[in-house]
Amino acid sequence: MALTGYLADYSLAEILQFIQQGSKTGLLSISIEPNPAENIAGVNEYTWFQNGRVVAHAKDLSSFGLISMLEKRNWVGAETSANLRVQSKTLTAPLGLHLKSINLVDVEQLRILFHAQVLQAVCSLFKLQNAKFHFDDRASVANIKPEMTGMSVTAVEVSLLGMRSLKDWTYLERKLPAPEFGVQRLQEALPEYKLDTQETQMFTASDGKHSIGEIATEIGISVRKAQEIAFRLTAVSLLKEIALDSPSLEQSLKKSPALANSISASSAISASSAIAVSAKPKVSNSFLNNLVGFLKKQK
């Protein structure tokens, strides 16, 4: 089933986490309609995934993106390039592996290609805030062998790189965990991929008992920075948010003038005390059976 929406609503970090956690295979298209009146250039970006890993990226669907990169770097001559364009239609293995098998490129060159084609390109997508996305999990990767180097990276690794390079977090503002929230590690060991110093400090300090605000003080960074790092590590499934002690009604009213305006403290207290005063006795099986019977008759 295809998913469609805007990155402002469902961020690229969330999409990549979704794709990795679901081990999804398919094509993610990201686009911005051109608007010359507002000097907005159109954008089309295509990223392919196989079992939750990014395998290729291109700016069009011509299937010649990787060959163009080889030409641009003068790693193939004109004749070879023309032959590759013809051969690419019948490739049974990723183009990168094919080129390596005929000694046209080495492993280091493949790494450079993959870095430019996938890592840099996908990271730059994090800056697009108003773009539309479309993920088609029926799109096959069998036809994109000419765009594949043969290398791949997990969706969340590239997500982490992208979020690190993000300067403007405005559109993610409302998704950042509140400073009074705690964070807890979902695994004890550091991941196989490299975290930067602050991410490592945040990961280590995330014991589910201290708030993000307290961790910020402990590791000597601003609360805002700590919120961004906590979001990053949550979006790559290394941490989960923990609700520490809930604020009292009085604290909530103090924190939010809008709340204070829209509800009087006395009415909220009386509403909440109606449920708070009574204990929670167990509900009997006969009660449950009677209720089910009663509800079924209501239909």
Partner 1 sequence: MEIMRLVITGCVGAGKSTFVRSISEIEVVDTDRKATDEVGQMKQNTTVSMDFGTLSFGPDMSLHIYGTPGQSRFDFMWDILINKAHAYILLVAAHRPSEFHHARRILNFMNQRATIPMLIGVTHSDCSGAWSLENITLALGYLPGVPQPPVIMVNANEKESSVDAIVALLQLCMGDDEATDSAETDEELATV
Which residues of the shown chain bind partner 1 in the complex (CB under 8 A)? Answer: 1, 3-5, 8-10, 14, 18, 21-23, 175, 178, 240-243, 246-249, 251-252, 255-256, 258-259, 261-263, 267-268, 271-272, 275-276, 278, 280-281, 283-285, 287-292, 294-296, 298-299
**Smallest separation (angstroms) from partner 1 to the CB of 56:** 23
Nearer to partner 1, 124 or 270 (CB): 270
Q: End-to-end CA distance of the chain: give it in Å, rounded.
A: 32
Q: How far is the CB of 263 from partner 1 (least distance, A)?
A: 5
- Nearest to partner 1 of 7, 55 (CB atom): 7
Q: What is the 3-state secondary structure (H, E, C) of the chain?
A: CCEEEECCCCCHHHHHHHHHHCCCCEEEEEEECCEHHHCECCEEEEEEEECCEEEEEECCCCCCHHHHHHHHCCCCCHHHHHHHHHHHHHCCCCHHHHHHHCCCCCHHHHHHHHHHHHHHHHHHHCCCCCCEEEEECCCCCHHHHHHCCCCCEEHHHHHHHHHHCCCCCHHHHHHCCCCCCEEEECCCCCCCCCCCHHHHHHHHHCEEEEEHHHHHHHHCCCHHHHHHHHHHHHHCCCEEEECCCCCCHHHHHHHCHHHHHHCCHHHHHHHHHHHHCCCCCCCCHHHHHHHHHHHHHHC
Residue 4 or residue 204: which is nearer to partner 1 going by CB? Answer: 4
Task: Output 197 or 248, the one with its CB closest to partner 1.
Answer: 248
Closest distance between partner 1 and the C-beta of residue 282, in Å?
8
**Cβ 23 to partner 1, closest distance in Å?**
7
CB of 272 to partner 1, least distance (A): 5
Closer CB to partner 1, 41 or 276, in the complex: 276
CA distances for 160 relative to 52, 116, 230, 235, angstroms: 15, 16, 11, 8
Q: CB 102 → partner 1: shortest distance, Å?
A: 39
- Residue placing its CB nearer to partner 1 in the complex, 161 or 247: 247
Is the distance from CB of 66 to CB of 147 less than 8 angstroms? yes
Min CB(205)–partner 1 separation in Å: 19
Measured between alpha carbons, how far is 294 from 296 in angstroms, rounded to an integer?
6
Least distance to partner 1 from the beta carbon of 215, Å? Answer: 18
